[in-house]
C-alpha cells in the first residue's frame, strides 16, 4: 500500500502514530513492511492456506462475534444432505464433472432447495461468460425461508461445515504451506481477533496481489469470511477494501467496458439463457426472492429507454431484440488468441497498452500483428502502437514490418486536464473534474472520438432498412457533441416526459416512463445538481465528509451499514456508532446515509409469501442478498466451490500439501501450443511474482515518458535474495535473465534481503520479484515482465494468474535474435522430458 497507493497509506501511518498495530504479510519486504510493526514473509500463491488458518483459529477458539454472526450471516442455515466437502473428496466438492471441469452446484444448496440448482450445462456457460459471480450483484437464486439452527449445533449448518472444512488448516499446516513460522502466524491471528468485536473493528485491504490468481475470487471470499465471522462488515473501520489501481477502474466496472456486463451490473444477454426479454429480466430478478434486485425490470427497461428512447416501446420489448448476444468466452485473452487465428479484423486500444501490460506479451503482439486495422488512442507513442517496427518479435524475426499487414491509426488523446468528467475512485466515490484547458493539436477526448465515430457510422447507414442496422439507427445519439454533464444526466436517469432528473433508483419504473443509463449511479444528478462536483473542504466537515463527491448507491459511503447497529437497531458500541434506529422519529439515522429502507423498523418481519423488498426483515443487513445474509458459505454462484480451499497456482514448484488436487480443478487455460504453461519441473525451480514501483504506473505509458519518474527508477531490475544469488552466481548490479516456457527477459540484478528463502513442505523455496513497468518505448526502456507470464485464468472472472509463476534465473544477458527463440524452446523441451 505504501508503494502503490502512498497517499492512502497516510492514514495507516496516522493510525500507527495513535497506537495502532500494523502487520504486513507479503512475499517481499516493501516500503509498507518498513513502516509496519511486524513483517510476515510468505510464499506467493499460498494465501488461502494462510487465511484458512485464520478462520480455523477463530472457530477453534470461538473468537467469532457470535451475536453478529447469528443475526447477519448465514452461519445458522442448514445445507442439503447431499453436499460433500473437500474433506470427503480429497480436494473436490460434490458435483464435479471431470470432462467439462465444472461443478453442478445443486448439491451445494440449502436444505430443501436442491431443486433450484442449475440447468444442465449452465455452470460451463457461466465460466465461459464470467457470469458465475453475478449472484454477488444480481442476487443469488435462493429463497428466504431456509431452515436454520440459531444454536449453530446442527451438523449440517454452515457454521459446523465451516469448522470441519478448515479444521485441517492448523498453524503447523500454515507453516508447511506458506513458509510462515507458527509463532508469527499465531501473532497475526491474536492481533486480528483481539482488534475485532463490539468495541473495535479491523479493516482488510487488498489489491491485485489477490485478484491475479487462478483462485483469486476465493482469496477475497476467504478474507470476507474472516471479516464476517469477526463482525467487521458494514461497520466503521472495518470491511474488505479493494485498493484498485487505475483512476476509474471502479467506474469502468460499474459502467462497464466489459464483455459480459451492461451498466449497473446488468448481464449482457446470452443467446441461450436470455433469448427473450422476459428470460433476461427474470434471470436478474429471480421472482421468488427478496432484496432490491427484485426491481431489476425497472432498471433494465430504463437502460433500454436510455439507449433507444422513443423507439423502445412495450411492443418491441423496449428494443431488447437489438442487443447483441454472448455465446461463450469473449474475454480479452480469448480475443488475443482469436487475433492470432485471424478471426478479428479491427481492434481499439483506449489508454491501454497490452504489448507491455497484459500477460503473455508475445501473444498480445503477434495478435496485433495479424489484424486488418488497429486504432491506438493514447497520449504517447506506446509499445502497442509500434510493435510492427521495433517490438521484441521484430528482433527475433517473428514480425517483419514489410510483411505485417496491420494498418495502424495512432490517435492522440486528451489528458485528464483537458476534459471534464467523473472518475470513480476505489471507494465508489464519483469525483467531477473541471476542464482546465483545451487539448493541443489533434488531441481529443474519448467523448469526442466516440460521439463523432457514432455520428459518422450513422450517416453512412442512414436510410438502411436492414434489420441489423436498426439498433444503431434508432440509438439516441445527438447530432451535436454532448458535454460531460449531458452524458452524466443520462446516466443519472430522467422522466421521459418532463426530462427532469430522477432523485434515485427507487424512482425508476418498468413502464417506460423513465430512462436511466446506469441505475446504481442514479442520484448523482439529484435535484438537477451535479452531486459529484461537490467540494466542501474536508476541514469543514465531519470524518465521513459526505459533502465531497458522491458515492453509489444513493451516496452511501459504507455499504451494508445496517450491520453497524445490532439487530434491535442500537449501535454495537458508543465507540463504533455509525447508523442506528431512532425509535422516536421512526427512522434510521446516523453519520452516513442508511443502507436500508429509511422507515423500516428493526422489528419488522415480512408477511408469509412476501418477495422482493417487502421480504427484507428489519434485521436483514445484507439487502442485496437473496436471503438477506452475509455469506460465509456460498450455496450457489461460485464456479469453483462454496468455500475457499487451498490449491497451488497453475505453475508451482511444490505438490499441494493439503489435498490430492494440485491446482484449482475448474481454472481456465487455453489448450494450444502458443499458450503454454510451465509444467512442475526442476527446469523452472523458482517462484516469481511482480508488482508496482511507487515511481511508475502499470505498463509505463504514463510514467516512462516522464523525465522525473524515469530518473527516479531508470532501469528494469530483478530482486533476488543473497542465498539465491550465491546459488545461481548472480552479481549485484550485474545482468541476469529470467526464463519461462514463453519467454526469456533480462534485467539488472538487485541482491537484497528484501527477499528471503522460505522453508516450504520440508524444502527451501526461493522467490524472485520483478517490477512490470518496462517496454521498448519511452525515456527508459527494458524487457517486459509480463512476457514471462502465462494465460491461466480464474474461472469466475477470467482474470489471469500473474502474481505467482515459476521460472529459472541465470547470470548474464539473454540471447538475442533467433537464438532467443531456440533458447526458450530448449528450456521447454527439457521441462517436457523432465530433464532438470
Least distance in Å: CB of 268 to another protein? 7
Dihedral angle of Cα 116, 120, 125, 131, to the nearest 10 degrees: 10
Q: Which of the stretches 160-168, 396-404, 612-620, 814-822 binds another protein when contact is defined by CB under 8 A?
A: 396-404
- Closest to another protein by CB, 177 vs 669, is 669
Binding another protein (rule: CB under 8 A), the pick from 22, 89, 395, 472 is 472
- Closest to another protein by CB, 467 vs 607, is 467
Binding another protein (rule: CB under 8 A), the pick from 219, 277, 322, 631 is 322
- List, in sequence order, the alpha helices (H) in 23-121: 31-34, 47-60, 66-72, 86-89
- Closest to another protein by CB, 485 vs 568, is 485
- Closest to another protein by CB, 185 vs 318, is 318
Least distance in Å: CB of 481 to another protein? 11
- Closest to another protein by CB, 789 vs 831, is 789
In Å, what is the CA distance from 217 to each residue of 360, 424, 597? 21, 22, 30
DSSP string, 653-687: SS--SS-S--B-TT-EE--STTS----S-TTS-EE
Say if CB 39 and CB 184 are below 8 A apart: no
Q: Is 395 in the site for another protein (CB under 8 A)?
A: no
Binding another protein (rule: CB under 8 A), the pick from 121, 143, 181, 245 is 245
Dihedral angle of Cα 175, 177, 179, 180, to the nearest 10 degrees: -40
- Closest to another protein by CB, 360 vs 646, is 360
531-550 residues near another protein, rule: CB under 8 A: 535-539, 541, 545, 548
- Closest to another protein by CB, 400 vs 682, is 400
- Cα distance between residue 136 and residue 265, in whole Å: 10
Size of the site for another protein (CB under 8 A): 160
- Closest to another protein by CB, 715 vs 832, is 715
Q: Is 86 in the site for another protein (CB under 8 A)?
A: no
E strand map for 508-596 = 514-515, 550-551, 579-582, 587-590
Q: Is 680 in the site for another protein (CB under 8 A)?
A: no
773-792 residues near another protein, rule: CB under 8 A: 779
Q: Which of the stretches 160-168, 191-199, 374-382, 734-742 binds another protein when contact is defined by CB under 8 A?
A: 374-382
Q: Which of the stretches 74-82, 179-187, 609-617, 708-716 binds another protein when contact is defined by CB under 8 A?
A: 708-716
Q: Is 263 in the site for another protein (CB under 8 A)?
A: yes
Binding another protein (rule: CB under 8 A), the pick from 121, 143, 147, 256 is 256
What DSSP state is assigned to residue 734? S
Say if CB 434 and CB 460 are below 8 A apart: no
- Closest to another protein by CB, 400 vs 822, is 400
Say if CB 547 and CB 541 are below 8 A apart: yes
- 412: which 3 cell numbers? 492522440
- 141: which 3 cell numbers? 437464486
Binding another protein (rule: CB under 8 A), the pick from 56, 193, 406, 767 is 406
Least distance in Å: CB of 478 to another protein? 11
Least distance in Å: CB of 703 to another protein? 6
- Closest to another protein by CB, 310 vs 407, is 407
Q: Is 451 in the site for another protein (CB under 8 A)?
A: yes
- Cα distance between residue 81 and residue 85, in whole Å: 11
> Angle at CA 207, nearest 5°, toward 391 and 387?
10
284-313 residues near another protein, rule: CB under 8 A: 307
Peptide bond into 553 cis (omega under 30): yes
Least distance in Å: CB of 402 to another protein? 6
Say if CB 829 and CB 822 are below 8 A apart: no
- 644: which 3 cell numbers? 475457499
- Closest to another protein by CB, 138 vs 646, is 138
Binding another protein (rule: CB under 8 A), the pick from 31, 163, 272, 813 is 272
688-707 residues near another protein, rule: CB under 8 A: 694-698, 702-703, 705-707
Q: Is 513 in the site for another protein (CB under 8 A)?
A: no
E strand map for 207-341 = 240-242, 261-262, 266-267
Task: Write the CB contacts of 362 (distance below 8 Å, at least 6 apart in sequence).
Answer: 392, 393, 398, 742, 743, 787
Least distance in Å: CB of 297 to another protein? 19
Least distance in Å: CB of 747 to another protein? 21
Binding another protein (rule: CB under 8 A), the pick from 327, 599, 826, 833 is 327
Least distance in Å: CB of 258 to another protein? 6
Q: Is 248 in the site for another protein (CB under 8 A)?
A: yes
**Residue linked to cell 508451482:** 652
Dihedral angle of Cα 497, 503, 507, 509, to the nearest 10 degrees: 40
Burial 720-752 (b: 16+ CB within 10 A, else e): bbeebbebbebeeeebbbbbbbbbbbbbebbbb
Q: Is 10 in the site for another protein (CB under 8 A)?
A: yes
Say if CB 155 and CB 7 are below 8 A apart: no
11-30 residues near another protein, rule: CB under 8 A: none
Is 739 strand, coil or helix? Answer: strand
Q: Is 165 in the site for another protein (CB under 8 A)?
A: no
Binding another protein (rule: CB under 8 A), the pick from 7, 462, 497, 673 is 7
End-to-end CA distance of the chain: 38
For residues 203 to 242, the per-residue mask of contacts with another protein, x marking binding by CB under 8 A and - elsewhere, is ----------------------------------------
Binding another protein (rule: CB under 8 A), the pick from 58, 75, 125, 326 is 326
- Cα distance between residue 570 and residue 577, in whole Å: 8
476-505 residues near another protein, rule: CB under 8 A: 477, 484, 487-488, 490-491
329-358 residues near another protein, rule: CB under 8 A: 330-332, 335, 338-339, 343-352, 354, 357-358
- Closest to another protein by CB, 80 vs 354, is 354
Binding another protein (rule: CB under 8 A), the pick from 440, 528, 583, 660 is 440
Task: Write the CB contacts of 99 (distance below 8 Å, at least 6 apart in sequence).
Answer: none
Binding another protein (rule: CB under 8 A), the pick from 37, 278, 313, 389 is 389
- 361: which 3 cell numbers? 506479451
Going by C-alpha positions, the residue among 136, 227, 150 that lies closest to residue 563 is: 227
Is 708 strand, coil or helix? Answer: helix
**Phi first, then psi: what are they for 387, rounded to 5°?**
-55, -30
Dihedral angle of Cα 511, 517, 519, 520, to the nearest 10 degrees: 180
Amino acid at each position: 500500500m505504501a508503494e502503490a497507493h502512498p497517499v492512502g497509506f497516510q492514514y495507516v501511518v496516522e493510525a500507527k502514530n495513535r497506537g495502532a498495530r500494523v502487520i504486513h504479510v507479503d512475499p517481499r519486504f516493501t516500503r509498507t513492511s518498513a513502516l509496519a510493526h511486524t513483517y510476515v514473509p510468505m510464499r506467493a500463491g499460498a494465501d488461502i492456506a494462510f487465511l484458512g488458518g485464520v478462520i480455523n483459529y477463530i472457530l477453534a477458539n470461538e473468537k467469532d462475534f457470535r451475536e453478529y454472526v447469528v443475526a447477519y450471516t448465514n452461519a445458522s442455515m442448514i445445507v442439503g444432505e447431499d453436499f460433500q466437502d473437500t474433506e470427503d473428496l480429497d480436494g473436490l466438492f460434490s458435483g464435479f464433472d471431470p470432462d467439462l471441469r465444472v461443478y453442478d452446484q445443486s448439491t451445494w444448496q440449502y436444505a430443501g432447495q436442491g431443486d433450484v440448482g442449475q440447468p444442465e450445462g449452465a455452470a460451463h456457460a457461466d465460466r465461459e461468460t464470467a457470469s458465475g459471480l453475478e449472484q454477488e450483484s444480481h442476487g443469488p437464486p435462493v429463497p428466504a425461508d431456509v431452515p436454520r439452527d440459531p444454536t449453530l449445533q446442527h451438523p449440517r449448518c454452515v457454521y459446523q461445515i465451516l469448522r470441519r472444512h478448515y479444521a485441517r488448516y492448523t498453524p503447523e499446516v500454515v507453516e508447511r504451506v506458506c513458509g510462515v513460522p507458527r509463532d508469527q502466524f499465531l501473532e497475526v491471528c491474536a492481533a486480528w481477533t483481539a482488534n475485532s468485536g463490539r468495541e473495535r473493528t479491523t479493516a482488510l485491504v487488498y489489491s491485485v496481489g489477490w485478484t491475479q490468481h487462478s483462485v483469486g475470487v476465493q482469496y477475497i471470499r476467504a478474507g470476507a469470511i474472516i471479516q464476517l465471522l469477526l463482525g467487521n462488515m458494514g461497520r466503521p473501520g472495518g470491511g474488505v477494501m479493494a485498493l484498485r489501481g487505475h483512476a476509474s477502474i471502479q467506474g469502468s466496472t460499474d459502467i462497464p467496458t466489459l464483455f459480459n456486463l451492461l451498466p449497473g451490473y446488468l448481464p449482457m444477454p446470452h443467446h441461450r439463457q436470455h433469448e427473450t426479454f422476459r428470460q433476461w429480466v427474470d434471470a436478474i430478478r429471480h421472482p421468488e426472492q427478496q432484496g432490491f434486485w427484485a426491481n431489476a425490470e425497472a432498471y433494465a427497461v430504463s437502460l433500454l429507454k436510455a439507449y433507444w428512447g422513443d423507439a423502445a416501446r412495450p411492443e418491441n420489448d423496449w428494443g431488447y431484440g437489438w442487443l447483441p448476444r454472448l455465446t461463450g468466452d469473449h474475454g480479452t485473452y480469448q480475443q488475443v488468441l482469436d487475433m492470432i487465428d485471424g478471426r478479428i479484423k479491427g481492434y481499439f486500444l483506449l489508454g491501454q497498452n497490452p504489448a507491455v501490460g497484459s500477460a503473455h506479451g508475445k501473444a498480445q503482439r503477434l495478435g496485433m500483428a495479424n489484424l486488418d486495422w488497429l486504432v491506438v488512442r493514447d497520449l504517447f507513442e506506446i509499445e502497442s502502437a509500434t510493435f510492427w517496427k521495433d517490438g521484441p518479435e521484430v528482433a527475433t524475426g517473428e514480425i517483419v514490418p514489410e510483411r505485417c499487414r496491420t494498418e495502424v491509426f495512432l490517435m492522440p488523446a486528451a489528458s485528464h486536464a483537458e476534459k471534464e468528467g467523473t472518475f470513480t475512485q476505489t471507494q465508489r466515490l464519483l469525483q467531477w473534474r473541471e476542464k482546465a484547458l483545451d487539448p493541443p493539436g489533434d488531441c481529443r477526448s474519448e467523448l469526442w472520438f466516440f460521439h463523432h465515430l457514432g455520428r459518422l457510422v450513422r450517416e453512412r447507414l442512414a436510410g438502411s432498412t436492414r434489420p441489423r442496422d436498426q439498433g444503431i439507427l434508432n440509438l439516441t445519439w445527438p447530432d451535436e457533441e454532448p458535454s460531460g454533464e449531458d452524458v452524466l444526466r443520462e446516466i443519472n436517469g430522467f422522466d421521459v416526459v418532463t426530462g427532469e432528473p430522477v432523485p434515485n433508483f427507487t424512482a425508476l419504473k418498468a413502464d417506460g416512463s423513465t430512462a436511466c443509463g446506469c441505475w446504481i449511479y442514479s442520484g448523482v444528478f439529484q435535484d438537477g445538481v451535479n452531486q459529484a462536483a461537490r467540494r466542501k473542504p474536508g476541514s469543514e466537515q465531519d470524518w465521513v465528509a459526505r459533502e465531497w463527491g458522491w458515492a453509489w448507491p444513493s451516496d452511501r459511503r459504507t455499504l451494508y451499514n445496517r450491520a453497524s447497529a445490532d439487530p434491535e437497531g442500537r449501535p454495537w458500541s458508543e465507540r463504533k456508532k455509525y447508523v442506528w434506529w431512532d425509535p422516536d422519529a421512526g427512522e434510521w439515522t446516523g453519520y452516513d446515509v442508511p443502507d436500508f429502507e429509511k422507515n423500516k423498523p428493526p422489528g419488522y418481519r415480512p408477511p408469509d409469501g412476501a418477495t422482493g423488498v417487502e421480504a427484507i426483515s428489519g434485521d436483514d443487513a445484507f439487502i442485496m442478498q437473496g436471503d438477506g445474509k452475509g455469506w460465509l458459505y456460498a450455496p450457489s454462484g461460485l464456479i469453483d466451490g462454496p468455500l475457499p480451499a487451498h490449491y497451488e497456482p497453475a505453475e508451482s514448484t511444490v505438490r499441494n500439501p493439503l489435498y490430492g488436487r494440485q491446482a484449482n480443478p475448474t481454472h481456465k487455460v487455453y489448450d494450444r501450443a502458443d499458450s503454454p504453461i510451465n509444467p512442475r519441473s526442476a527446469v523452472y525451480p523458482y517462484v516469481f511474482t511482480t508488482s508496482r514501483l511507487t515511481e511508475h504506473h502499470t505498463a509505463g505509458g504514463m510514467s516512462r515518458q516522464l523525465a522525473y519518474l524515469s530518473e527516479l527508477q531508470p532501469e528494469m531490475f530483478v530482486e533476488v535474495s543473497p542465498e539465491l544469488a550465491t546459488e545461481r552466481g548472480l552479481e549485484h548490479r550485474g545482468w541476469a535473465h529470467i526464463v519461462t516456457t514463453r519467454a526469456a527477459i533480462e534485467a539488472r540484478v538487485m541482491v537484497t534481503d528484501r527477499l528471503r528463502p522460505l522453508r516450504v513442505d520440508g524444502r527451501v523455496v526461493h522467490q524472485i520479484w520483478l517490477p512490470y513497468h518496462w517496454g521498448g518505448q519511452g525515456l527508459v526502456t527494458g524487457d517486459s515482465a509480463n512476457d514471462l507470464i502465462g494465460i491461466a485464468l480464474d474461472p469466475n472472472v477470467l482474470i489471469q494468474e500473474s502474481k505467482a509463476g515459476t521460472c529459472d534465473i541465470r547470470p548474464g544477458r539473454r540471447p538475442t535474435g533467433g537464438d532467443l527463440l531456440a533458447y526458450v524452446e530448449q528450456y521447454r523441451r527439457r521441462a517436457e522430458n523432465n530433464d532438470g
